[in-house]
Amino acid sequence: MTGVVGRSVESITGALRTVFTAEQVASADGLLQRRDPRVAVCSVAGLALAVMITRTIAVTLCFGAVTVILARLSAVPLRRLLARSLAVPLVSAVIVLPQVVVLPGDTLVRAFGLSVTVDGVAYVVLFTLRVGVGVALLSLIVMTTPFSAVVAAMRELHVPVALVWVIAVTYRYLFLFFDELQRLVLARNSRTTGRSSLRGGWRDAKRLVGTFLLRTLDRGERVGRAMQARGGARPPSPYSRSRTVDRGDYALVALAVIAVVGSGVVRWGL
Amino acid sequence: MGPVIEARGLTHAYPDGTTAIQDVTVSIDEGERVAVIGANGSGKSTLQLALGGLVEPTAGTVRYFDETTDAEAVRDRLGVLLQDPDDYLFNTTVREDLEYGPAQLGMSREAATQRVAHVAAELGLDALLDRPPFRLSGGEKQRAAVASVLAFEPDVLLLDEPFGAVDAHYRDRILKLVTDHEGTVVLFTPSLDVVADVADRVIVVGPDGSIAADGSVRDVLTDSTLLQANGLRPPATVTLFEGILDADDVPLTVSDARAYLLDELG
């Protein structure tokens, strides 16, 4: 598969696969990397919760700034954090976009017989920002802590096994998803000559999607068996990487508690 | 010594109707070294999955260690290596993949760390432990997959083509780890050249997925008619000496052939 579509699929899958590994970031010496995994999971989840509570753009932006500061102190390149976190808020924005004309309020712009309202725009911006900051915070934890340590921390924190299971399997299958897609694109490119038109590229892409779904299903089954062969039918139980909690850990927990309480106060009052 | 795996009337058909294995009855005793050979598509891999308790057979039963038919109850004693190493490497680093089995199967962290370090050193993976698995070459992935099974020290190894993509050096290293394994080894392979190095018993899976023969390594590997009828070719050393020496004297391995020739040439 050549052409714009093929090249796009190839570059996007390659980039995403690289972005999702983050192995260098996880092994770097940074603020979050030095934290006990249980503390890191709880604190970052707390910050994400605070973001979800808030209904104010200014407060959400403050949390965005906190996320950027945490990323900088944890040696996480901002471009990589953005690349990892951007897709979800963009999709969310598309989903809630109709709200700009659906929500009543003062008219900002009139176009094609529709009124774009101030309240509608504010809602879409706030929603997208909240999702973006929340996803960026969760990405931070996965980028700065080995994934098995995150899973082990969730087990130690008595997060329901079913939830841990879903998170662990989903995360692992994300790798396989991109890996399978990239293999498929490479295999097709190696047997395709010449430049195809945009239309031809889309036609190829449609065929690719069908094959891809079948292949991911098959690969999923095989990987499931390989997990089962090594005890994967039992609840996820990676080795704990917990250590003695220190002042830095307490400080991070305090930050998360203040964020949650502060968000609540701003939203609901005292 | 009792059977570690005992299959009776094992049949497995896939949803599309393809019968991969049929009416397989086989018993593998503790400490045995068995090679399961067959042509491509004969059903070896499905037989391995069924014996390893990773597919539900359409008919028949598998009993483990003469105590249970539930493979999950003895999962820590069964080391199943599937054909494609990529299926084993789904964690963010090779180390996590190697620790996955020991952690899931309840091995202590200290024991697992030692064991992972040992198999990683044996298979030349030390420098790759903190790399993401998808960045490894085909041979490195194969070694990592083998290591991930050996890491939890199972009693029984069920290995499907463990030498697939590795170079000669690491093929010998894997071969040594497998032959040094103190428990039971069942090797599934279409390549007959390694069989005599590993096994003392050979099971031939026929094109229809049934057991076509079950006998000693010498009896099976020197029976060209049987092998050819099942889409297989005898090992190179057997082909070389067939008709020159009696079946009982034909060297089955390259090292045996070399020793024989050196002896003959004085």
- Domain containing residue B202: CATH number: 3.40.50.300
Residues of chain A found within 8 Å of residue B75, distances taken between Cβ atoms? 228-231, 233-234
Shortest CA distance to B60 belongs to which of B24, B10, B20?
A: B10
Per-residue pLDDT band for A165 (boundaries 50, 70, 90) equals confident
Q: Is A26 on the interface with B (CB under 8 A)?
A: yes
User: What mean pLDDT value characterizes chain A?
Assistant: 85
Per-residue pLDDT band for A190 (boundaries 50, 70, 90) equals confident
pLDDT at B208 over 60: yes
pLDDT at B181: 94
Gap between the Cα atoms of A178 and B131, Å rounded: 17
Q: How near does any CA of chain B get to the CA of A229, in Å? A: 6
B231: left (phi over 0), alpha (psi -120 to 50) or beta: left
Q: Determine whether the interchain pair A230/B49 forms a contact, defined as Cβ–Cβ distance below 8 Å.
A: no
Q: How near does any CA of chain B get to the CA of A182, in Å? A: 11
Per-residue pLDDT band for A210 (boundaries 50, 70, 90) equals confident
Per-residue pLDDT band for A148 (boundaries 50, 70, 90) equals confident
Of residues B260 and A23, more confidently modeled: B260
Q: Determine whether the interchain pair B87/A222 forms a contact, defined as Cβ–Cβ distance below 8 Å.
A: yes
Q: Determine whether the interchain pair A239/B96 forms a contact, defined as Cβ–Cβ distance below 8 Å.
A: no
In angstroms, how far is the first alpha carbon of chain A from the final one?
Answer: 60
Identity of residue B243: G
Gap between the Cα atoms of B45 and B87, Å rounded: 14
For B237, what's the count of Cα atoms within 13 Å in the CB-facing half-sphere? 22
pLDDT at A270 over 60: yes
Per-residue pLDDT band for A35 (boundaries 50, 70, 90) equals very high
pLDDT at A25: 62
Q: Which residues have C-beta within 8 Å of that of residue A14, sequence separation ≥ 6?
A: A182
Gap between the Cα atoms of B68 and B60, Å rounded: 14
Residues of chain A found within 8 Å of residue B130, distances taken between Cβ atoms? 23, 27
Query: Dmax of chain A from CA atoms?
Result: 68
Per-residue pLDDT band for B94 (boundaries 50, 70, 90) equals very high
pLDDT at A14 over 70: no
Per-residue pLDDT band for A18 (boundaries 50, 70, 90) equals low
Per-residue pLDDT band for A169 (boundaries 50, 70, 90) equals confident
Answer yes or no: is B43 within a domain: yes
Per-residue pLDDT band for A29 (boundaries 50, 70, 90) equals confident
A82: its two tokens:
């953005």
Per-residue pLDDT band for A7 (boundaries 50, 70, 90) equals low
Answer yes or no: is B69 within a domain: yes
pLDDT at A20 over 70: no
Answer yes or no: is B211 within a domain: yes
Strands B33-37 and B59-64: unpaired
Q: Which residues have C-beta within 8 Å of that of residue B257, sequence separation ≥ 6?
A: B237, B240, B241, B251
B49: its two tokens:
């999955």
Of residues B131 and B150, more confidently modeled: B150
pLDDT at A185: 77
pLDDT at A72 over 90: yes
- Kindly state the average pLDDT of the residues A48-52: 93
Domain count, chain B: 1
Answer yes or no: is B251 within a domain: no
Of A21, A223, A239, the CB nearest to B87: A223
Q: Tell me: the pLDDT tens digits for B33-46?
A: 999 999 999 999 99
Residue B14: domain span:
3-87+155-234
A259: its two tokens:
């964020």
Per-residue pLDDT band for B23 (boundaries 50, 70, 90) equals very high
* HEC per residue, chain A: CCHHHHHHHHHHHHHHHHHHHCHHHHHCCCCCCCCCHHHHHHHHHHHHHHHHHCCCHHHHHHHHHHHHHHHHHCCCCHHHHHHHHCHHHHHHHHHHCCHHHHCCCCEEEEECCEEEEHHHHHHHHHHHHHHHHHHHHHHHHHHHCCHHHHHHHHHHCCCCHHHHHHHHHHHHHHHHHHHHHHHHHHHHHCCCCCCCCHHHHHHHHHHHHHHHHHHHHHHHHHHHHHHHCCCCCCCCCCCCCCCCCCHHHHHHHHHHHHHHHHHHHHHHCC
Of B79, B90, B105, the CB nearest to A172: B90
Answer yes or no: is B196 within a domain: yes
pLDDT at A177: 79
pLDDT at B247 over 70: yes
A234 and A164 Cβ atoms separated by less than 8 Å: no
Size of interface A-B (CB pairs under 8 A): 98
Q: Tell me: the pLDDT tens digits for B135-192?
A: 899 999 999 999 999 999 999 999 999 998 899 999 999 999 999 999 999 999 988 9
Of A146, A227, A237, the CB nearest to B103: A237
- Kindly state the average pLDDT of the residues B5-32: 95
pLDDT at A1 over 60: no
Please give the share of chain B, as a percent, with pLDDT higher than 70. 100
User: What mean pLDDT value characterizes chain B?
Assistant: 93
pLDDT at A70 over 80: yes
Gap between the Cα atoms of A186 and A81, Å rounded: 27
A179: its two tokens:
């890996």
Answer yes or no: is B112 within a domain: no
Answer yes or no: is B68 within a domain: yes
* Residues of chain B with a CB closer than 8 angstroms to some CB in chain A: 49, 52, 54-55, 72, 75-76, 78-82, 84, 86-88, 90-93, 96, 99-101, 103-106, 109, 112, 130-132, 134, 148-149, 152
Whether the model clears a pTM of 0.95, i.e. scores above it, the answer is no
Answer yes or no: is B111 within a domain: no
ipTM: 0.88
Q: How near does any CA of chain B get to the CA of A168, in Å? A: 10
pLDDT at B214: 97
Of A219, A223, A234, the CB nearest to B104: A234
Number of Cβ atoms within 10 Å of the Cβ of A95:
13
Gap between the Cα atoms of A107 and B96, Å rounded: 55
